[in-house]
Every structure is written in C-alpha cells, then in structure tokens.
Amino acid sequence: MEMSLHDMAHELGKKFELRASLHDRDGSFVKENYLELKELKYFSALIPEELGGGGMSHSEMCDILRIISQYCGSTALAMSMHQHLISANVWKYKNGQGAEDTLRKIASKNLILVSTGAKDWLESNGDMIKVDGGYLVTATKHFTSQAPIGDMMIISAPYKDPDKGWQVLHFPVPYGADGVSVMDNWDTLGMRGTGSHSTKLENVFVPDSAIVLARPQGEYHPVFNVVLTVAMPLIMAVYVGVAEKAASMAIQFAKGIVKPKDHLISAIGKLNNTLTNARLNWESMIRITNDFDFKPIKINGHEMITRKTNVAHSCIDTVTQAMEIVGGQGYFKKMQLERLFRDVQGAKYHPYQEQEQLLFSGEFLLKENI
C-alpha cells in the first residue's frame, strides 16, 4: 500500500533531522530536503486534482508542516511560505475568482513560489516606472524564503497612479527574469536554513497583463482577509511543531530522573498547560479557515491575528519552560533544544506583530458591529 504524503512526513523528517544541525551551523539553505519534497510533489499537493495537483486539504497540509517542523523547523517554515501562496490561489479558484491557469501551471511545472515577506505588507516598497506595455520595477525585497531554489516571486510595489494616487500593485516575477538577483545575506539568530535572503530587482520589466491586484497604499484591503485566513494556520503550524518537540524532549529528560523533585513535576504540568494553549489557538485557526470554505470578512482577519499572537506567546513560553526544566544541558548545541529555542523566536515576527495586532483588533472591536 502506497504511503500518503501525510504519513511520509515523519519518514522524511527523520532524514531532515540528520541535516538540521549542519544547516543551522553554517546558515545554508535546506536544498537537499527541498529536492526530496519537490520530487514527491509536496509543492503541488494543495492544488485541486482537476488542475493537476494532489487535492490535499488545507488542514492536512497544516498538520504536515507541524510534523516536519519537529525535525527541521527551517524546512517547514520555508515550505509554509510556498503553501500559503498556493492556498490563496486555491481559495480564489474555489470561489470563482480565477487562478485556474496559475494553479495548472504550478502543478504541471512543479514550481516553487516565493513570498516577499512581511516587509511588503500594507505599504510595500520599491519604485515602479510606467513604460510602454508595462512597468520597470526596482526594489529590494527582504525575507524571501526559499529564494535559492524559487521559480516565481509573488511581489508588490508602490506606484503613483496619475488618477488614483499612490497604489500598491501586485504581480508575479520569475526568478530567471533579467534584473533579478538573490543576495547572500540571510545570517540570523534562528530558522537559519530557510534561505530567506533578500531578492534584488533592477529595472525588471513587468507587463501590464501581469498585474493581478491594485489597491490603495497603506490601507487594509479585503484581500488580506483571505491571505491571513489561509496563511496564518500554515505558518504557525511550524512553531507549534517546534514547541511540541521541545516539550517532548523536556518530558523525556524528566522521566530519566529517578526521584524528581516536586517543583520539577509541577514544571511539567505547567509545560503541558502552555503547550495546550498553543495547540488550542492553532486548531481554532484551522477551523476558521475551514478547508477554504470561508468568507473574506474582516472578523476573520481579526480572529486570525489574535490567535497568531496567542500561539506565538505560548510556543515561545513552551520552549523557554522546556529549557528551564532541562537546565544547563539545554544550553549545549548537541542537545538541539538550544536550536529550538532560537527557531521559535521567529513566531513573533510574522504579521501582525503584537503591538500592531493589538491596535488592529482594538480598532476593529470598537468600530465593528459584532
């Protein structure tokens, strides 16, 4: 009987774990892991079968990312960036808003999509100059995870429209296009194998036909109610998996103590409560996405980023508590708990960051009739 992609995640993870320390040590991209995932069609798994994909549900992909992150957080986090772009297009397709040709192309060519990161959120960055038939784009896009192996970047940039004023235009750019280059500048505290280098664009031509969305610069657009609702459960799945791994290591450590002291036993109980908070908030996010059956309403965006903050706190607290339970041994890199502690810090930096989330949610609750 052929093993499903979900069941295979643990087997792949065991191989990824053997490489994780090396990629963490030298900050190299997890290319070998990606090639294996690509060969097995994980990158087209979410695309509906009628379009050439695997027809996997959103909730199942969330769980796969959770599993893989227990072995290599960098692999799972980089992969989540591709999967959330696919998910946004699958939602559009399922809701009669196009994306069929895009998804067919991705499935048939087994493409890897690259997100331009949180720095491109409401304002975006770069320069666009109108030319005959399109635009010339110059920009440096940060946090472009998977850049070393990416096929297509999903990007945006600000443009001053003569009639509408400042707009943000969204469009794809192939990594093979003239003027596109990847900078070797991903040298970070954690998640060091994601290959999230900056990507530089110098006078890259973007045809008019490539523009998929134009929105007022700096304003929250309804499209983000789709993006947040599909993306956040996938991204935060990674940190839940990291927290689960750390908790498991701490519990196994405590089990090895013949007569654990009362405070250690209580610490394990506290660890369980904190991890449960992370899981419950994350599982609630998955229910909101409801395998792409949701409306793009603002309350979904609000509820997603609220839970994202809660998951981030609980995951970071879980790994911190695991470190305290293990004590000085957890400070050594050979135990791997130290890497989990560094990797989980990334949870707080995905949009919205906490202070922005508190402002967004506060304004929403005061203004909306809910």
pLDDT in tens, 299-345: 999 999 999 999 999 999 999 999 999 999 999 988 999 999 999 99
pLDDT > 60? residue 21: yes
Q: How far is CA 127 from the centre of its chain?
A: 26
Average pLDDT rounded to a whole number, residues 147-169: 96
Q: How far is CA 351 from the centre of its chain?
A: 10
pLDDT digits (tens, 9 = 90+) for 250-285: 999 999 999 999 999 999 999 999 999 999 999 999
Burial of 247 (0-12, 13-18, 19+ CB in 10 A): buried
| C-alpha torsion angle, residues 355, 359, 360, 363 (rounded to 10) | 170
Please count the CA atoms within 13 angstroms of the CA of 79 that sit on its side-chain side.
31
List 205's β-bridge partners, or say none.
136
Question: Measured in Å, how far apart are the chain's first and last C-alpha atoms?
Answer: 50
- Residue 3 pLDDT level (bands cut at 50, 70, 90): confident
The rounded distance, in Å, linking the Cα atoms of 163 and 17 is 54
Per-residue confidence at 2, pLDDT binned at 50, 70, 90?
confident
Q: Where are the alpha helices (DSSP H) in the chain?
A: 5-26, 31-39, 58-69, 73-94, 100-109, 223-255, 262-289, 298-326, 337-344, 354-367
Question: According to the model, what pLDDT value does residue 114 have?
Answer: 97
In the chain, the amino acid numbered 51 is L
Rounded to an integer, what distance in angstroms lies between the CA atom of residue 13 and that of residue 166?
45
* Residue 289 φ/ψ region, left for φ over 0, alpha for ψ in the -120 to 50 degree band, beta for the rest: alpha
User: How is residue 363 written in tokens?
Assistant: 């304004």
16, 73 contact by CB (below 8 A): no
Q: What is the pLDDT of residue 120?
A: 80
For residue 263, what pLDDT is reported? 96
Taking the C-alpha atoms of residue 249 and residue 254, their distance in angstroms, rounded to an integer, is 9
Residue 1: is its pLDDT beyond 60? no
State what percent of residues in the chain have pLDDT above 70. Answer: 98
- State the pTM of this model: 0.97
List, for residues 203-247, the tens digit of each pLDDT value: 999 999 999 999 999 999 999 999 999 999 999 999 999 999 999
Give the model confidence (pLDDT) of 114-123 as tens digits.
998 666 888 9
- Give the integer Cα–Cα distance in Å for 260 and 246: 19
pLDDT band at 174 (very low <50, low <70, confident <90, very high): very high
CA distance 233 to 287: 9
Classify residue 195 as left (phi > 0), alpha (psi -120 to 50) or beta: left
In the chain the domains, ranked by start, together with CATH numbers, are 5-111 (1.10.540.10), 118-216 (2.40.110.10), 223-367 (1.20.140.10)
- Close Cβ partners of 335 (under 8 Å, ≥ 6 residues apart): 249, 326, 329
Average pLDDT (132-146) is 97
- For 174, residues 6+ apart whose C-beta sits below 8 A from its C-beta are 151, 152, 153, 180
